[in-house]
Structures are given as C-alpha cells and as structure tokens.
C-alpha cells in the first residue's frame, strides 16, 4: 500500500491530513527528548516537518508534490492554509493572553521595547551588509555571478533568519523580477536556523545564567485594573468557551492586516507596508484582551480555550512552514549561504540580548521576551512560555514585535537600494 500516489490512492485532503498528524505525533516525541535540561519542545515538530519535506516532497513545475507520485498534485496551497490558520490561532491567543497586562507593561518599558526592536533589526541589517561585502571578496557562490542577484539572495537570507514574512514579501516586491526566485531561495535556506537558533537561545540563557525562575517571574508582575474584577460572573458570554469572541478578533485582525500603506511613489502598485494578518490579529486581540468586555458582553475567551489555540496554532504553523521549507532546502542548499544565515540569526540576537541586559537593565524574562519579539520568532515565544513557566512573557513579545516588523521591512528595502 502506497499512500503517496502509488497502487492505492486516497484523496488529496486525506493525504494532507495524514501528513499533518504524522508529523505532529513524531515531532512531539522528538521534542520531549531532553539533554541536560535542554529540549527542542515544539520545535521538534518543525524538525520532523523539515525532514518530511526533504524526504518525501520535491519542488518542480507542478509545484510542491510527493516525490515519485504518478499523478503530481500541488500541496502548496493546502500547507499554506494550514500555516496561515496556525499563525492566526497562535498570535490571536497570545494577544488575548498578554492583553490584560500589556498596556501597563508597555507604558513602563516603552522606550526599552522600541530600542530593542530597532537594535536587533539594525544589527541584522549590518550583519547582512557584512555578508554582502564578504561575498564580494570570496565570490558570490553557487550559480550567482552578479551582485544584484547576490544581494537578492542575502536579503532573502535576512528575512529567513528573522523568520519575517513581511520582510520576505517586501524584498520580493523591491528586487527585479528575474531575481525574485533568489529571495525565496535565501528565505528558505535561512528559515531553518532562524527558528531553531532562537528556540535554543531562550532555553540556554536561563540555564547558563543559573536563573532563579521564581524570582524572574516575580519581576514580570504588572497589576491588572481592579475594575475588571467587579464584573466577574456578571458578564454575558456568547458561548462559554469564548470561540465567538476569538473569531471576532481574527476577523477584525485579518481585515486590518490587509490595509496597505504605500512606501514608494507608485501607490498600491509599488512597495507597500501592511501589518499583515499576523500583526492585525495581534493588535486587535491585545485591545480586546485589555478591555475584555463591551458593556456587559464578554469579549474575552476562556483561559483554557486560549491555551489550546495557542499550542495548536503554533504546531500547525510549524508543520505548514516546515514541509515546504524542507523541500526547498534540499533543492537550493548551499553551505556558504547557510553560514550567512546563521550569522544573520546569531548577531542580532546576541547584540539585542547584551544591549537589553547591560544598557537597559531589563530583567531576564522581559529581555528574552523582547528578543523573541525583535526576532519576530513565533516558535521561540512558545518555547519561552514553557521555559519561564508563565504566559506573562508574551507582553514583552507583543510590545517589541510591531517595532521589529516595521523596521525589518524598511531595512530589507534599504539594503536592496544601497547595494
């Protein structure tokens, strides 16, 4: 019996679901393996998704297909849907969870969050510029013979290193059409370490610094507004799990995320900035989580619902992004480009952490939460929540993320124009 297009065929939807659940099962098992207190956690799902993509999928004229399939079917759209659904579930949950304490925390550390977001992205941009200069000395590598093509590759590597879809989209729209494929290749190569590197970093730092997590959690505490407590038990809920309220945030966030702001003189036909669905859902859920009600109608989902959607969303996102990433990695791998990607992940992450620790004097968990936001790393936030033992770190992520989101788009475009 061949499930992948052989003697016995099954529907494409069933095949896709089989793949998703198989990756989740094996990925969770891998993530549980712990060595000296360090584990991959949810990133284990990403590793298995990458391996599955590398072993069983290939990228060709028909799109993303099972290798050796007699009747090729493009699974790109299905996996893209799973990735998008997972991202919406995750960031909306994070927004609701962070909302009650977000504005108090943001007001207290506003300048710090802005500075960390900018420092991380500027450091990433300088690392990318350094890689471009190094490439000119060593030779561009691969089949790339022109500087413009190499710059397109590096900017793609930068967006992958920072796991930033908006930067990826902005870079593709800025480079010449014949170089857009190179942006995609670079993004795919660097994305792997971009995810795993930050996930390991937020686990290693507390271990190396021998942090007392109970003390560090206490430093995160921000008092909520007392008025909300008086409404407990008196609010009308559309449904007891809060799925309707969650759906409202996702709808409004998706709509807001589609608003485009032109960055060039060509209007909407040129380069535009948008919050994307990720930023839109995060913004709306933060606001709804902060107010938690409209009159006496609750707009705050149940805690259990948010925890479930946060975890489910994260792993679906990792599966949807990991399988195509694994296939593209095999198709386009070049060792030197992978090294460039590692540099563009490590440099901004370390620079941001040291700046936050020694200059801004932020507490450890506020620091690491800001790093996950500055690196726009959704998987790392999920890992940090588990490592810290509290969801309050999401407030630092949510505060830094919008700054980094805007900065990385602008830096990517600046690199293309400059070089």
How do residues 64-101 score in pLDDT, each as one tens digit? Answer: 777 656 667 778 888 888 988 988 998 899 889 878 87
The pLDDT score that the predictor gives to residue 105 is: 73
Residue 102 vs residue 161, higher pLDDT: 161
**In this structure, what token pair is assigned to residue 408?**
């990385």
Over residues 117-138, the mean pLDDT reads: 91
pTM of the model: 0.73
pLDDT beyond 80 at 382 = yes
**In this structure, what token pair is assigned to residue 203?**
């686990």
How crowded is residue 362: how many other Cβ atoms within 10 Å of its Cβ?
A: 22
Cα(315)–Cα(276) distance, rounded to whole angstroms?
A: 20
User: Which percentage of the chain shows pLDDT scores above 70?
Assistant: 85
User: Which percentage of the chain shows pLDDT scores above 90?
Assistant: 28
pLDDT beyond 70 at 109 = yes
Cα(102)–Cα(393) distance, rounded to whole angstroms?
A: 10
Listed in sequence order, the residues at least 6 apart from 319 whose beta carbon sits closer than 8 Å to its beta carbon are: 20, 23, 24, 27, 45, 49, 79, 82, 83, 86
Residue matched to tokens 């919008």: 402
Per-residue pLDDT band for 36 (boundaries 50, 70, 90) equals confident
The pLDDT score that the predictor gives to residue 9 is: 44
The pLDDT score that the predictor gives to residue 219 is: 83
Highest mean pLDDT among 22-31, 56-65, 86-95, 396-405: 22-31
pLDDT beyond 70 at 271 = no
Residue 95 near residue 113, CB atoms below 8 Å: no
Helices 335-354, 364-374: inter-axial angle, 10-degree rounding: 140
Over residues 45-59, the mean pLDDT reads: 84
Among 252, 301, 296, residue whose Cα is nearest residue 97: 301
Cα(407)–Cα(377) distance, rounded to whole angstroms?
A: 15
Q: Nearest 5 degrees, angle CA 177-CA 181-CA 187?
A: 125
Over residues 30-51, the mean pLDDT reads: 81
The pLDDT score that the predictor gives to residue 6 is: 43
Residue 399 near residue 115, CB atoms below 8 Å: no
Cα(99)–Cα(306) distance, rounded to whole angstroms?
A: 12
Q: What is the pLDDT of residues 284-322, one digit of tens each?
A: 998 999 899 998 899 999 999 999 998 899 889 888 878
Residue 115 near residue 341, CB atoms below 8 Å: no
By residue count, the chain amounts to 419
The pLDDT score that the predictor gives to residue 141 is: 59
Average pLDDT score, the chain: 82
Cα(256)–Cα(277) distance, rounded to whole angstroms?
A: 8
Q: What is the pLDDT of residues 340-357, one digit of tens each?
A: 999 999 999 999 999 999
The pLDDT score that the predictor gives to residue 195 is: 84
The pLDDT score that the predictor gives to residue 53 is: 86
């Amino acid at each position: 019996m061949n499930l992948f297009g052989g003697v016995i065929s099954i529907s494409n939807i069933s095949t896709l679901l089989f793949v998703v659940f198989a990756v989740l099962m094996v990925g969770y098992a891998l993530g549980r393996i712990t060595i000296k207190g360090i584990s991959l956690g949810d990133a284990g799902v990403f590793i298995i998704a990458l391996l599955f993509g590398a072993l069983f999928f290939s990228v060709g004229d028909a799109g993303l297909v099972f290798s050796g399939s007699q009747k090729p079917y493009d699974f790109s759209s299905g996996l893209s849907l799973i990735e998008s659904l997972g991202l919406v579930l995750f960031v909306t949950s994070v927004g609701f969870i962070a909302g009650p304490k977000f504005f108090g925390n943001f007001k207290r550390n506003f300048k710090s969050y802005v500075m960390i977001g900018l420092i991380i992205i500027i450091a990433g941009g300088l690392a990318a510029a350094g890689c471009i200069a190094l490439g000119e000395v060593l030779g561009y590598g691969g089949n790339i013979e022109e500087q413009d093509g190499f710059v397109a590759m590096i900017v793609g590597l930068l967006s992958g290193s920072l796991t930033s879809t908006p930067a990826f989209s902005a870079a593709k729209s800025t480079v010449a059409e014949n170089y857009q494929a190179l942006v995609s290749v670079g993004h795919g190569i660097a994305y792997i370490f971009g995810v795993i590197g930050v996930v390991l970093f937020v686990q290693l730092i507390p271990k190396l610094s021998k942090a007392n997590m109970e003390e560090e959690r206490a430093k995160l505490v921000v008092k909520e507004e007392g008025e909300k407590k008086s409404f407990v038990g008196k609010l009308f809920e559309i449904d007891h799990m809060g799925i309707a309220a969650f759906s409202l945030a996702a709808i409004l966030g998706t709509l807001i995320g589609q608003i485009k702001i032109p960055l060039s003189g060509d209007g909407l036909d040129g380069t535009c900035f948008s919050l994307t669905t990720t930023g839109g859902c995060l913004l709306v859920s933060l606001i709804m989580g902060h107010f938690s009600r409209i009159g006496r109608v609750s707009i705050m989902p149940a805690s259990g619902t948010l925890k479930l959607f946060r975890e489910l969303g994260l792993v679906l996102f990792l599966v949807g992004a990991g399988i195509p990433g694994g296939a593209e990695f095999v198709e386009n791998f070049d060792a030197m480009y992978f090294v460039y990607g590692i540099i563009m992940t490590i440099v901004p992450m370390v620079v941001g952490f040291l700046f936050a620790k020694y200059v801004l004097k932020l507490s450890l968990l506020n620091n690491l939460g800001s790093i996950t936001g500055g690196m726009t790393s959704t998987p790392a936030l999920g890992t940090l929540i588990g490592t810290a033992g509290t969801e309050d770190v999401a407030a630092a992520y949510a505060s830094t993320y919008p700054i980094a989101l805007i900065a990385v788009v602008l830096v990517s475009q600046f690199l293309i124009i400059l070089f």
